[in-house]
Amino acid sequence: MYMRSLATFDASGKHLRSGIRATAPHGPAHALDRWLATLIQRTIDAAHVRLRLWDGFTAYERPSDPIGELIIHDRRTLIGLVVNPDVAFGEAYMDGGLDVRGSLERVLEALFRATLAGPPSLRERLATAAALPNTLAASRRNAHEHYDLGNNFYALWLDRDLVYTCAYFETPSMSLDQAQRAKLDLICRKLRLRAGETVIEAGCGWGALAIHMARGYGVRVKAFNISREQLTYARQWAARERLTSRVEFIEDDYRNVSGRFDVFVSVGMLEHVGRRHFQTLGETLRRTLRRDGGRGLLHFIGRDNPRPVSAWIRRRIFPGGYTPTLAEVTSLVLGPAGMSVFDVENLRLHYAQTLAHWADRFAAAAHEVRAAYGESFRRAWELYLAGSQASFATGWMQLFQIVFVPAESAPPSWTRRDRYEASTGAAA
């Protein structure tokens, strides 16, 4: 998951209104307002979501009750939703021009479902084609804006190990802490880590996977990250665990890695790489992974068909990101690198569940977040978490784990059976 710091928006000159507006009455809606509201109502009618204007007007006429309401507080928001709905929705939610009555997540889910079957719009296709290049310097900047928001902020609502990627709920009732440990361990078992092996981790976050691998499986890990604050945290953690001889946290771009390793693993980084750099990632794999007996795992947010990241997310959250299809990753990264796909698992419902946990915890921390970062920041995150949950719940977004091997290497296991027979031994 990625989130650019909203705290930088003002400095970057984008149009963030400085606070949440007073929701003073706006006067009655005019005939033109009502006509625009009717237009919008038609596009969301199939989702059973009701649009309501500041004076109470609604064009919703279905016999059944709506599952929720969008409340539009002013004309500017109304016009924005007609002209540029992708961006306007998020902007208006952030600054309070739009409110949602009912469950934010359920309303977004219904809106996603209603549009899921359609092909990408022309605007979406142009945006996909024009995805900006992601240079080393730019990705360093993006990562700083995003992850250096402050460890304390993430500690408010992530699990105890600060794992900011999709968890694995062996049973749906598992706690988030358990499910994140189970995810780390699932990855280790899929990779069949053996004591003494060498592992590269590209994009290591706060270090939970690197530490889990070294502690539970006795491997030696070189973990790369470009967020200094995360690395500081990870190094202190490794020191507390007395694992500094086996885990090295390196402040550098993964593309600069050198040497040959048994295992390559990357969890939640591919989305940051940008499609234009898939070839470089492939070259990195080819250069660093042992041809005989090597294996790797990529865990990333993906799509069924090529589509750009939402315009609002692109504008406000993460300019350099791209969520690729399985075909893009296998044909642009793995195939040219001489890698065979061994196993793919789609965990999208696990991500919806993860996001539900995050959203609950984030809501519980609303007071602290508001006090430290302001209400508009809090609302942006609230929307982002609910929208992401809805995306994964509806199948609008996917979460892929790919296990791959150099074509000359035997796959790491004969069947999947023993991965699932054993309980998650190292997950305790």
- Beta carbon of residue 309, minimum distance to its own copies (angstroms, whole number): 17
- Beta carbon of residue 113, minimum distance to its own copies (angstroms, whole number): 7
| 3-state secondary structure at position 263 | strand
Q: Looking at beta carbons, which pairs linking 344-349 to residues 24 or more positions away fall under 8 Å?
A: 344/400, 344/401, 344/402, 344/403, 345/400, 345/401, 346/398, 346/399, 346/400, 347/166, 347/168, 347/399, 347/400, 347/401, 348/392, 348/393, 348/395, 348/397, 348/398, 348/399, 349/392, 349/393
Indicate the residue among 99 and 328 with the shorter CB distance to its own copies: 328
Indicate the residue among 52 and 277 with the shorter CB distance to its own copies: 277
Indicate the residue among 259 and 414 with the shorter CB distance to its own copies: 414
Strands (E), 15-118: 49-52, 68-72, 98-101
- Beta carbon of residue 89, minimum distance to its own copies (angstroms, whole number): 22
- Beta carbon of residue 304, minimum distance to its own copies (angstroms, whole number): 5
Pairwise CA distance, residues 273 & 325, whole Å? 14
Indicate the residue among 18 and 171 with the shorter CB distance to its own copies: 171
Burial-class residue 67 by CB neighbours within 10 Å (0-12, 13-18, 19+).
middle
Residues interacting with its own copies, by CB under 8 A? 113, 116-117, 168-172, 304-305, 325-328, 330-331, 334-336, 338-346, 348-349, 394-396, 398, 400, 405, 407-411, 414-417, 419-421
Indicate the residue among 71 and 191 with the shorter CB distance to its own copies: 191
- Cβ–Cβ < 8 Å for 314, 123: no
Indicate the residue among 23 and 279 with the shorter CB distance to its own copies: 279
- Beta carbon of residue 330, minimum distance to its own copies (angstroms, whole number): 5
- Beta carbon of residue 342, minimum distance to its own copies (angstroms, whole number): 5
